[in-house]
């Protein structure tokens, strides 16, 4: 489900076998390179690392920005998938926290999830994208579950949740190499998310911020 390859209704001509392989490898490599060297990494470097001619990159992704977007989409898709999995495996009470941990546990350097989201205004489009919406739905389910279970304060919606996740990524990035400190910073956010006993927050109004 991650990469559409044979879905008959997409209207996209099915790629040749090698082309599909190239595309997949490119995405893989691009993700690695972008997260390691930042989005400023050169297209040529990605091509080299993927052992592909530069022109091949541009055949698959007409623009560097398109490549970035594709990488982001893949990430969002994967996150949505993992969210669904956690919901099923862990149950509503803990799934949200498990999801948080899962995202944050990715090496902070590798975790340019945030960076990718914010960079170059790509996020705007990403939010409206299919993948963005799908992830939004998953997050909604996770959040609802946790709130129903009474373990997360009720005044939060998906937009806040996303922002908090992104911000926490940044925190940990800043504390890279200091695991003890990182642990404490995470505790701060986790405790802040918890439903506060004896202070019933007003419920969320509908429709507010970007997902």
Partner DNA sequence: GATGAATGAGCCTTCATTCAT
Partner DNA sequence: GATGAATGAAGGCTCATTCAT
Per the listing, tokens 């898709």 go with 77
Distance of CA 108 to the CA centre of its chain: 13
**Least distance from a copy of itself to the Cβ atom of residue 53, Å:** 12
**Least distance from DNA to the Cβ atom of residue 27, Å:** 13
Binding to a copy of itself (CB under 8 A) within 86-125 occurs at: 114, 117-118
- Choose the one of a copy of itself, DNA, none that binds residue 93, judging by a C-beta under 5 to 8 angstroms depending on kind: none
**Least distance from a copy of itself to the Cβ atom of residue 146, Å:** 13
- Choose the one of a copy of itself, DNA, none that binds residue 202, judging by a C-beta under 5 to 8 angstroms depending on kind: none
- Written as six digits, the tokens of 32 are 């690695």
- Choose the one of DNA, a copy of itself, none that binds residue 85, judging by a C-beta under 5 to 8 angstroms depending on kind: none
The pattern of x and - marking residues 178 through 207 that bind a copy of itself according to CB under 8 A reads x-xx--xx-xxxxxxx--x--------x--
Helix, strand or coil for residue 5? coil
Binding to a copy of itself (CB under 8 A) within 141-180 occurs at: 153, 155-157, 159-160, 162-164, 166-175, 177-178, 180
- Measured over the CA atoms of residue 135, residue 14, residue 71 and residue 101, the dihedral's sign is positive
Residue spans of alpha helices (H) in the chain: 17-37, 43-49, 54-60, 64-90, 92-105, 113-118, 122-128, 130-148, 158-174, 179-193
- Measured over the CA atoms of residue 66, residue 72, residue 73 and residue 74, the dihedral's sign is positive
**Least distance from a copy of itself to the Cβ atom of residue 171, Å:** 3
CB 97 within 8 A of CB 190: yes
Q: What crossing angle do the helices spanning 130-148 and 158-174 adopt, rounded to 10°? A: 100
- Written as six digits, the tokens of 53 are 């001619």
Binding to DNA (CB under 7 A) within 33-92 occurs at: 40-45, 51-60, 62-65
Q: Is 15 in the site for a copy of itself (CB under 8 A)?
A: no
Using alpha carbons, list the distances in angstroms from residue 2 to 32, 81, 91, 122. 17, 9, 24, 20
Binding site for DNA (CB under 7 A): 13, 15-19, 21-22, 40-45, 51-60, 62-65
* Interacting residue ranges for a copy of itself, rule: CB under 8 A: 40, 114, 117-118, 153, 155-157, 159-160, 162-164, 166-175, 177-178, 180-181, 184-185, 187-193, 196, 205, 208-210
């Amino acid at each position: 489900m991650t990469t559409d390859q044979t879905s008959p209704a997409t209207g996209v001509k099915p790629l040749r076998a090698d082309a599909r392989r190239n595309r997949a490898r490119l995405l893989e490599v691009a993700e690695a390179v972008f997260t390691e060297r930042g989005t400023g990494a050169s297209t040529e470097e990605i091509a080299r690392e993927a052992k592909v001619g530069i022109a091949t990159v541009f055949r698959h992704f007409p623009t560097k920005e398109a490549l970035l977007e594709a990488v982001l989409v893949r990430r969002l898709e994967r996150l949505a998938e993992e969210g669904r999995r956690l919901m099923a495996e862990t149950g509503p009470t803990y799934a949200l926290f498990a999801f948080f941990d899962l995202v944050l546990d990715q090496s902070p350097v590798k975790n340019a999830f945030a960076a990718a989201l914010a960079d170059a205004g790509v996020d705007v489009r990403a939010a409206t994208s299919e993948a963005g919406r799908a992830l939004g739905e998953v997050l909604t389910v996770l959040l609802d579950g946790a709130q129903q279970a009474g373990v997360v304060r009720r005044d939060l919606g998906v937009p806040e949740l996303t922002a908090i996740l992104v911000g926490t990524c940044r925190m940990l990035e800043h504390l890279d190499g200091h695991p003890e400190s990182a642990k404490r910073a995470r505790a701060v956010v986790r405790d802040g998310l918890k439903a506060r006993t004896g202070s019933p927050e007003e419920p969320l109004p509908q429709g507010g911020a970007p997902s």
